[in-house]
Amino acid sequence: MPLVDMPLEELQTYRPPLTRRRDFGAFWTRTLRAAAAQPLRPALEAVAYPARGVRVRRASFDGFEGGRISGWLLEPEGAGRRPALVVYHGYSGRAPTLFHLLPWAGQGLVVLAVDCRGQNGGSTDGAVYPEGHRPGFMTQGILDKEAYYYRYVYADCVRAVDLAASLETVDASRLGVVGTSQGGGLGLAAAALAPKRVRVAAACVPFLCHYRRAVDLAEHPYREIADYIRAWPDRAEAVFETLSYFDNLNLADRIRARTLVSVGLWDLICPPSTVFAVANHMTCRKELAVYPCTGHEETDDWRERVFALVLSALAG
């Protein structure tokens, strides 16, 4: 496969200017206050599952300004409060299966894995968008930051962190977030928007990063934005203004967690420069795992690194 982006030497120093608008901080302060003021109304329903030493439940809570967010909750049996991990999933998918979450619970972590609203899991989207959009989720409410799809999703992700921290089985001072692709982008956003809660973050080939460059270079699902702009060329600047509020490029310097990020140098979905741009703006304790000849994927090496990081940072 040919080089899909900049040479590695350029990527390592690529630090494009931020695109934050003047009211960026005020927008997120207002949104997070509204999310915190809204009751979670959690519900936990027992699930029969043949795993020893782990209690499995279906968890749900109210989505931000509508809808109901659903997911899995795994709690190791035994007394005491434990570290917790919130898991986010890839675009248009759903939370990992219980089988794939068991290794974390087997190491003594409480695990909350949530489905994104309206995607392929059990969560519903109660938002009403002001007009139509391209197929998918990227352009729902794209002309209004207050009504944009990912405003609700990011707030839901923070509320998932709040739910995990509130559980009787959880030590709220030891909480982490992990995810791949969209899940990695959501993990970074959650770490940025809940910096006092999230202690460690691991984002594999993260999506939702450096939108302007991503739209120029990337395949689906960034292509949804390009298709929208193709249909409405006069709306291009309005689109990118809305996206600037949800770009991890502009959230990166808010992250305080110990952070591990992966990048595949052959990634056509989340091009390397979009990931490096965000990582290079982080001021937290961070590490970038760079994988040559690798596309948009988790590698076994990545899984081992995340496992070691989370256990050392939260359960050590």
- Position of tokens 């938002």? 127
Catalytic residues: 181, 267, 296
Q: What is d(CA 289, CA 164) in angstroms, rounded to the nearest whole number?
A: 28
**Which phi and psi angles does 307 have, rounded to 5°?**
-60, -45
Instruction: Please choose, from the candidates 131, 153, 146, the residue with its C-alpha nearest in 3D space to the C-alpha of residue 208.
Output: 153
Q: What is d(CA 146, CA 161) in angstroms, rounded to the nearest whole number?
A: 22
Q: What is d(CA 182, CA 205) in angstroms, rounded to the nearest whole number?
A: 9
| CA-based end-to-end distance of the chain | 41
117 contacts 67 by C-beta, under 8 angstroms = yes
Q: What is d(CA 280, CA 294) in angstroms, rounded to the nearest whole number?
A: 20
Q: What is d(CA 274, CA 11) in angstroms, rounded to the nearest whole number?
A: 9
